[in-house]
Amino acid sequence: MSVRVRRVYDPPESDDGVRVLVDRLWPRGIKKEAARVDEWPKGLTPSTELRRWYHAGEGSYEEFARRYEAELAEPEAAELLDGLRGRVRKGPVTLLTSAKDPERSHAAVLVGLLESASR
């Protein structure tokens, strides 16, 4: 399994595989052609309420991750997550985010879920 997280502002690399934008909003200052996004499953992203709660500094990353995982268990998101797992089984996938700290973002939660499903 090959899944990694990169900032959408970084230039595409030849080994990115399928490039999946995992942000609900299109990143500022980047043109769609430059981002080379193959998929944009908005239903797989944290809800607006959860995103605002976390960015307001009201809770810990661990609590954010727990709440986001609960959102991902909902039927629509679970179906999209299963589809992403299928993509990962077929080849490399790069999750793209505009988060300044991808290791403490929703993208890292997704990687954790994708990696735990492949064990």
Per-residue pLDDT, 119: 52
Q: Cα–Cα distance between 95 and 110 in angstroms, integer?
A: 9
Total domains, the chain: 1
Q: Rounded to two decimals, what is the model's pTM?
A: 0.92
Which pLDDT belongs to residue 117?
A: 64
pLDDT at 1: 60
The stretches in the chain having pLDDT less than 70 are 1, 117-119
What span, in angstroms and rounded, lies between the C-alpha atoms of 101 and 98?
9
Q: What is the pLDDT of residue 27?
A: 94
- Residue span of the structural domain in which 23 resides: 3-117
Question: Which residues, other chains included, contact 25 with Cβ-Cβ below 8 Å and sequence gap of 6+?
Answer: none
- State pLDDT tens for residues 31-55: 988 899 999 999 999 999 999 999 8
**Strand locations in the chain, DSSP E?**
3-7, 18-21, 93-97
Report pLDDT for 118.
58
Instruction: Give the pLDDT score at 115.
Output: 85
